[in-house]
Amino acid sequence: MIRYALACEDGHEFEGWFSTSEDYDDQAGRGLLACPVCDTHAVRKQIMAPALAGTSKRDPDENPAAKRAMMMEVMGRVRAHVQANFDYVGDTFAAEARAIHEGKSEERGIYGEATPTEVKALVADGVPVAPLPPEPPKKTEVN
């Protein structure tokens, strides 16, 4: 297996694993590669140093701050998608989620607020729920 460091035209960095270098060339040529953050197909290989045996246990390309920033961006996109495409039901979330699950209300995506007790009861009853990612920090709150 060959690991390539890849980047999209927007500068998002990620890895791709391929059986051979020809596999990368084939997939890239057919437009099958896409950025996992923004889904653009304008992906290119980055310059990489060969993997050498050594004593270092840490990946020198590892950048925890960049990984956190990318994760926050992805979570912000998920939150924005939910807010743009799902119905906000406020503090009636638990009751509405249960009604949808039981077929008593129209099947649709919803979001809102629920207490920890309400969430535990929904999960125990098999109602599919997931927390909404937090709002990303405001530009003024970030260094």
Summarised one tens digit per residue, pLDDT across range 18-34 is 888 888 888 888 888 98
Q: What is the pLDDT of residues 75-124, one digit of tens each?
A: 888 988 999 999 999 999 999 999 999 999 999 999 999 999 999 999 99
Whether 52 maps to a domain, the answer reads: no
> Does residue 26 lie within any of the structural domains?
yes
Does 142 reside within a domain?
Answer: no
For 85, the enclosing helix (H) or strand (E) is helix 64-85
Domain match, 128 and 68 both: yes
Q: Give the total number of structural domains in the chain.
A: 2
Question: What integer pLDDT is reported at residue 69 of this predicted model?
Answer: 80
Q: According to the model, what pLDDT value does residue 10 have?
A: 87
Q: What is the mean pLDDT of the chain?
A: 85
Band (134; pLDDT cuts 50, 70, 90): confident
Q: Is residue 54 part of a domain?
A: no
What range does the domain containing 119 cover?
Answer: 64-133
Q: How does 7-18 read in b/e, with b if 16+ C-beta sit within 10 Å?
A: ebeeebbbebeb
Strands (E), the chain: 2-8, 13-18, 43-45, 87-90, 110-112
